[in-house]
Amino acid sequence: MPQRIRMAASLSSDIYDHPSHPLIREDDKTVYVIFRGSVALNDWKNSADFKSDRLCCVHKNKFGPRVHRGFLTEFHQVSHVIRDLSAYGAKDIVFAGHSLGGAIAAIAATHVAESYPGRVFVYTYGAPKPGNRAFARLVQARAVDVVDVVHDHDPVPHMPWWMYRAGRRVWLRGDGRPLPAMRRWWKRLRFWFAIDLFNDLKDHNSREYRRICTVANDDVFEG
């Protein structure tokens, strides 16, 4: 698993220099489907426009899993690329992405895992929270492993604050060592007050995520 997380982190950084989106790579045992973070103005509008932050149903049950409307819009724009993955047989499939791409990866996994014959994994890097608690549970129920990597003071994975992350959080320092989980409300509050948005956004860089995943010990990623 650690090698897959590192590979997905590398591809999630490389995709910013790649013309196609999503990026699909295959090796002997695994198919990697990588979604790109925000690059165009419309991406930023969908991600950051709070008027579009209302939740929107993924399935017909309006009381069930719901996701950020802007992220769902972004997913629908590229969903045709992953509509048919049957050509890959039953290989393990990894959905991954940095920032917005991670949120799209979580949504894509819920759609594909319902019918895909192989195992599904979700690895995100600096991704915002994509949906409500029911959606987070749905992602975890349909994927074999869901890992949400966070780099030090990167503020993006903590937003929107009223939504939920879709996996097991691996919080890493700049040197790849793990940070302790902040389970107490006062620790989380102290974290938010300590954020320097202008300076801490450097921790959100996709190359920094690739670097810390490379230097981190394998046991950091083990569940």
Q: What is the mean pLDDT of the chain?
A: 81
In the chain, what percentage of residues exceed pLDDT 70?
A: 78
Specify the pLDDT at position 17: 83
Q: Where are the domains of the chain?
A: 2-221
Distance CA 18, CA 48 (A): 24
pLDDT tens column, 134-157: 888 888 888 888 999 999 888 888
Residue 36 has phi, psi (to 5 degrees) of -85, 150
Residue 51, pLDDT > 60, answer no
* Residue for token pair 């993006």: 156
Q: Which of 104, 108, 107, 112 is nearest to 47 (CA)?
A: 104
Residue 183, pLDDT > 90, answer no
Instruction: Give 61's DSSP letter.
Output: -
Cα angle at 35 between 90 and 183, to 5 degrees? 95
pLDDT tens column, 63-74: 678 888 888 888
Residue 44, pLDDT > 50, answer no
- Reduced to 3 states (helix: H, G, I; strand: E, B; else coil), residue 24 is strand
Higher-confidence residue of 98 and 73: namely 98
The sign of the dihedral angle between the CA atoms of 150, 94, 22, 74 is negative
- The number of C-alpha atoms within 13 Å of 41 and in the hemisphere containing its C-beta is 0
Once rounded to an integer, what is the mean pLDDT over residues 6-30? 87
**What single-letter amino acid sits at 166?**
A
| 7 Cβ contact list (under 8 Å, min separation 6) | 32
Residue 207, pLDDT > 80, answer yes
Q: Which CATH class is domain 2-221?
A: alpha beta
Specify the pLDDT at position 61: 62
Contact 174, 153 (CB under 8 A): no
Residue 185, pLDDT > 60, answer no
Q: Which of 35-44, 120-129, 164-173, 185-194 has the lowest mean pLDDT?
A: 185-194
Contact 132, 53 (CB under 8 A): no
| Strand ranges inside 76-161, DSSP E | 92-98, 120-125, 145-151
